[in-house]
Structure 1
Amino acid sequence: METFRRLIRGWLGKVLLALFLLPLAFAGMESLFGGGKKEGIAKSVNDVDISDKELEAQTKNYNDQYLQMVQGDESLLNQDVIRKAALDSLVDRALLIQQAQKLGITLSDAQIEQMIAQQPSLQVNGQFDQKSYENYLRSIGMTSQGLISNIRQDHGLKMLTTAITDNSLVSPVDIQQISNLQSEQRDLYLSSVKLDDYKKSVKVSNQEIADYYKKHSNKFKQLASVDVDYLVVTPAMVSQANTAVTDAELQQAYNDFVAAQKKNAQTEVKHILITKENRTPAEAQKLANDVYAKIQAGMSFAAAAAQYSEDTGSKTTGGVVDGYQPGVFGKSFDDTVAQAKGQVSKPVKTDFGYHIISAHAQAVNVPSFEAEKARLTAEVTKSKNANVYADAINSLNELVVGADALDVVSQEVKTAKVLTAKAVTLGTNNAVLADPAVKAKLFSEDVKAGDRNASSNIQMANGDTVWIKVRNYHAAGVQPLNVATPRVKQALINQKAFNAAKAQIATMLADFKTMPAQAALAKHSKSFEHAGVFTRSQGLKREIERAAFAAPTPKAGMWSLTTAALPNEMVIVAVASVKKPDVASLSAEQTQQLQNLYQGYRGTELLKDYAEYLKSQAKIK
């Protein structure tokens, strides 16, 4: 049972689950949150456009997911690769939607309307609420027909993808194989051979180094790196002038606070909407003007809204636009709200029709000066300290840029020291050089082009300031032979020492293939220690695990021997026995879970193949 749990929780389970989740990139409901006009075309798939806006949204979605994996350090992400993956997913999605439509996988308007009506967020007291629905449509900037169209697409997409991913065939042999991968147990004995003595007699020629480098040059790739001098100044290093808060400063801060409270006060917005549906624009404008005249003649706004407004979500509430947010009805509507000042506006034209608008700023209960004094004192003090620090940094920056040197700072700020770091990469773990803003400067295009001047001040995420001066830039790629030579030579020495050690035990390895284990052990003086019984991913060193689980299953009474190379050591790995799990011993629940995992993996592969087939038949440009 515990072995089975390890299978589900282990590397294989994680890999399969990750693959199992891939179809969600195709079958998500992202399109429900679209809206707005396309500003450009990223791709055209069978004459259906994927807009730049859609690509930007998908790229951001991918980027946000990867940022979580790298703890928010965007410099570690390859934006070109992420953008390509995002575009590929949108192309696949478009192709699958089109294929679902071609196959007639769809819902009727009535079915979709029923689905919408059953959404709890659109219900009041268990019943569909038209006002909630209209507020939702406004919040996503869509019409009812647009939402229905998107739901129809997404449903067709989901039905097609699940039909593929949920119906892949899995046989008992498949279940046995996947169970074996993680649950197979091997009883291991290990013997260690130190390589130091063998290395003493190893000779490596220049020709061997050159030949090895040519054959294995891919082993000597290097990341882009820099050699850099840097210096950090913190706020604590800068002498603070008198930052005591005066009464005048505190009063000004309170006045600003009061003004901000009033400016940010919520505004109650009401409107009466006259649409252009079933009437000409001129008729709509005339009706709006007539309603406005009635209000000016004494008719209440609420009564006019109830009688004439065609916004069903607000006409019964006096015309109140619940949760008004700028942008919902367009710029002309928002401009009128900002200028209304309690007056009823003349009819305003938007894409929805003509609006008569009333807006009232709600009263603000501003805390007293005494209630805010402590908080404002702290804020003003913090601001003054920040200004002193900013002024000091600006002065120091002029010195650095003028002298093209960092030590001028340490002459002014005695506790600041110039430090040096070599072979700094994007992955270097250094509290200063790993800061995203610093890394952006270290690996900027200017540095790559040869800029070796001292930088301007760089603001770090923690509020400290750093200056850098790059001494050398080493481009990514394969190390030249003269740089790689020490590593090549060491690799050759290790290889030759390993081969020499293995040659000495060649007879023993051969005997273990033909003799019972006890007889072979008695013949040879090599001692083995019992390491224990292991499954995959159970704590063995990677090299030993690979060797152990690649060795053939030994016959009864015999051992299967192989070797594994570790730094300065050759490990002789002996497999004494192999116990494979019996699928029949798994419970029905365990078997079903294994089947679901493997079915998900196969279904994902089928979906990818299907998308590639559709792509091969499509017109994509």
Structure 2
Amino acid sequence: MITWMQKHRKYLVVTIWISTIAFVGAGFVGWGAYDLNASRSGSVAKVGHRNISIQEFQNKYGQFHAYYSQLADGHLSEEEAANLKLENLALESLVNDALFLNFADDLGLGVNDEDIVKYIIADQNFHTNGKFDKELYKNTLKRARIPQSEYEESLKNVILLDKLRHALNIPTKKQDTDMLLASYLMQDRISMQVVEADDNEIKIDEDAVKTLWEEHKNEYKTMTEFKLDTKFIPAITSEANATELRAFYDENKNEYKGSDDKIKDFEAVKDEVLKDFNLKQTKKIALEEYLKIKKGESEAGTTISTLEDNASLPIDELKLVKTGETLKPFEYDDGYMIVKVKEVIAPRIMSFEEAREQILELYKEQKTKEIVEAKAKELLKNGFKGIDIGFIGRDAVKAQGGLTEGEFNVFVSKLFGKSAKKDYVMIDNKAVVYEILEQNLINRDKESEYKDIIAQQSSYLKNSELMRDLSTALAKRYKVEYYVSKK
């Protein structure tokens, strides 16, 4: 049971807590209008007999924000988050979970302390050398500033949802697997021709480029600029005595692991331990200096200007502080840096001249696609003589027909999503015109190789459909009350 739960869990794990805690700690999302009725002020919604707390909503929003921020290379602006309606996504995700939790309660399912212990012990995040490490568990939560009792309490809903899914799991039938096998192992014999545009075919129309900028100018903004007063505290270089150093190592030994995930011996990492020890002592000095600067008893004398893409500075924290405020010391080079925000220059829409090179790339990309697509349609209309590359299946990986491996994989993926015998597929600034010459419905040689994978996929699809249908039915069974107004 626990093995199945660990394999299929898609909800709260400690890594998500860690990735969102800084965001959550910044304060509650300014969202909607709140119903301040005394019995409702601690909740954002009620589903059946279960309340959804403000804290649960805050955590879930943080998870969504962290996920989409990662997709956006670590930068997700407030405007982008609003456009994605992350608040609504977070709330509806919690409401959907609450529907299933009500149903689990009605079925008599429950979670006890033993379930929680088994779940934690089975979690690979807390394993050292293949075994549960209690100290690693405690230290991981401690570093993330998550109270152990709060984390373990939060697992109750996770485990209950896993129990419900396990209880409702529908076994896969042979005909389900056979149907997917036939679809997945289908092979097409293809004739193909790659179509591209020459550089000399793309003519630059300045008026059209400017019109394109007018249409997209809100997407081209300068970065946020920060003017900061800074003070750098270099790491001290004192020699710690052997007793202090050994005690520091024992307290933090989980930080000194090799590529085999085994803790290195003290002597092997002694220099690294000394460096970390001195850095910790430096932090104490930096904190004392920070308090002086904050009280106006000392100055952060070096002024710098930096943009929001400076990875060496805690930009996310800088975005949250006001002008005149001072950040707590953070690690920087071989020491600690203290910064006081002098001025924040907000992003603005670029002028045409500033954005021209970027807009020109978009213009060229659009014109290239127009030219390539026109050529592809002309070939289909008048006929083409492509290269016969033989039979290919969905799992084909070897590049053919003049495409790179990545381009060929995209082509194969799109090809098996089309129904036309003869058509074209766009791949970035290229088109692949193709014709299906022959078709095999199943490749018996690969049937045994993919049978287990297809069976798992069949089970996933079947049970996903069940859960969607059940969610719709439960929404009619349990009353949903919202204590916030959606945006």
TM-score by length of 1: 0.43
The change in CA–CA distance for 1:106 and 1:156 in structure 2 (over 3 A counts) is farther
Match of 1:464 among 336, 342, 365: 336
- Residue of structure 1 equivalent to 2:473: 610
The change in CA–CA distance for 1:543 and 1:391 in structure 2 (over 3 A counts) is same
Q: What pairs up with 1:161-172 in 2 under 5 angstroms? A: 165-167=168-170, 172=175
Q: What pairs up with 1:43-442 in 2 under 5 angstroms? A: 43=44, 45=46, 48=49, 50=51, 52=53, 55-56=54-55, 60=59, 87-99=91-103, 105-106=107-108, 165-167=168-170, 172=175, 176=179, 180=183, 187=190, 189-199=192-202, 202-204=203-205, 206=207, 209-210=210-211, 212=212, 217=216, 221=219, 225-228=223-226, 235-236=233-234, 406-407=302-303, 418=304, 421-422=306-307, 424=308, 428=309, 430-433=310-313, 437-441=314-318
Quote the Cα distance in structure 1 between the aligned partners of 2:427 and 2:277.
65
User: Deviation string for 1:454-513 (max 9, x for gaps)?
Assistant: x646522455205365563216xx87877666544443344334434554565433233x
1:600 equivalent in alignment to 2:463: yes
User: Deviation string for 1:427-476 (max 9, x for gaps)?
Assistant: x4x4413xxx44311x2363xxxx5x7x646522455205365563216x
How many aligned positions are there?
372
Letter in 2 for 1:464: Y
- Residue of structure 2 equivalent to 1:566: 428
TM-score by length of 2: 0.51
The change in CA–CA distance for 1:577 and 1:406 in structure 2 (over 3 A counts) is farther
- Residue of structure 1 equivalent to 2:366: 495
1:444 equivalent in alignment to 2:332: no
User: Deviation string for 1:37-85 (max 9, x for gaps)?
Assistant: x995305636735264xx52675488579869969x9986989977766
Letter in 1 for 2:381: A
Quote the Cα distance in structure 2 between the aligned partners of 1:156 and 1:236.
50
Letter in 1 for 2:428: L
Quote the Cα distance in structure 1 between the aligned partners of 2:375 and 2:367.
13
The change in CA–CA distance for 1:45 and 1:496 in structure 2 (over 3 A counts) is closer
Extract unaligned runs of 5+ from structure 2. Answer: 13-38, 119-147, 248-273, 398-404
Letter in 2 for 1:176: M
Letter in 1 for 2:330: M
- Partners of 2:170 and 2:459 within 8 A in 1: no
Report the structure number with the largest CA radius of gyration.
1
- Partners of 1:229 and 1:471 within 8 A in 2: yes
Quote the Cα distance in structure 2 between the aligned partners of 1:234 and 1:495.
48
The change in CA–CA distance for 1:209 and 1:398 in structure 2 (over 3 A counts) is same
User: Deviation string for 1:191-221 (max 9, x for gaps)?
Assistant: 353431112xx242536743x567x64x963
User: Deviation string for 1:313-352 (max 9, x for gaps)?
Assistant: xxxxxxxxxxxxxxxxxxxxxxxxxxxxxxxxxxxxxxxx
Extract unaligned runs of 5+ from structure 1. Answer: 1-16, 26-37, 122-138, 142-146, 258-376, 408-417, 513-519, 522-526, 555-559
User: Deviation string for 1:116-142 (max 9, x for gaps)?
Assistant: 999999xxxxxxxxxxxxxxxxx989x
- Residue of structure 1 equivalent to 2:379: 508
Letter in 2 for 1:492: Y
RMSD: 6.2
The change in CA–CA distance for 1:501 and 1:460 in structure 2 (over 3 A counts) is same
Shift of 1:602: 1.2
Quote the Cα distance in structure 2 between the aligned partners of 1:117 and 1:494.
59
- Residue of structure 2 equivalent to 1:129: none
Shift of 1:226: 1.2
Quote the Cα distance in structure 2 between the aligned partners of 1:19 and 1:380.
39
Quote the Cα distance in structure 2 between the aligned partners of 1:77 and 1:431.
16
- Partners of 2:226 and 2:345 within 8 A in 1: yes
Quote the Cα distance in structure 1 between the aligned partners of 2:101 and 2:277.
57
SS of the residue aligned with 1:225?
A: coil
- Partners of 1:50 and 1:90 within 8 A in 2: no
1:473 equivalent in alignment to 2:346: yes
SS of the residue aligned with 2:312?
A: coil
Quote the Cα distance in structure 1 between the aligned partners of 2:229 and 2:182.
56
Match of 2:406 among 540, 543, 547: 540
Quote the Cα distance in structure 2 between the aligned partners of 1:186 and 1:599.
31
The change in CA–CA distance for 1:530 and 1:473 in structure 2 (over 3 A counts) is farther
- Partners of 1:400 and 1:406 within 8 A in 2: no
The change in CA–CA distance for 1:175 and 1:222 in structure 2 (over 3 A counts) is farther
Quote the Cα distance in structure 2 between the aligned partners of 1:482 and 1:18.
54
- Residue of structure 2 equivalent to 1:33: none
- Partners of 1:46 and 1:618 within 8 A in 2: yes
SS of the residue aligned with 1:604?
A: helix
- Residue of structure 1 equivalent to 2:42: 41
User: Deviation string for 1:245-285 (max 9, x for gaps)?
Assistant: 9xxxx9xx99xx9xxxxxxxxxxxxxxxxxxxxxxxxxxxx
Quote the Cα distance in structure 2 between the aligned partners of 1:537 and 1:106.
48
Quote the Cα distance in structure 2 between the aligned partners of 1:400 and 1:192.
69
The change in CA–CA distance for 1:577 and 1:232 in structure 2 (over 3 A counts) is farther
- Partners of 2:191 and 2:389 within 8 A in 1: yes
Shift of 1:186: 6.4
- Partners of 2:191 and 2:435 within 8 A in 1: yes
Letter in 1 for 2:312: V
- Partners of 1:20 and 1:604 within 8 A in 2: no
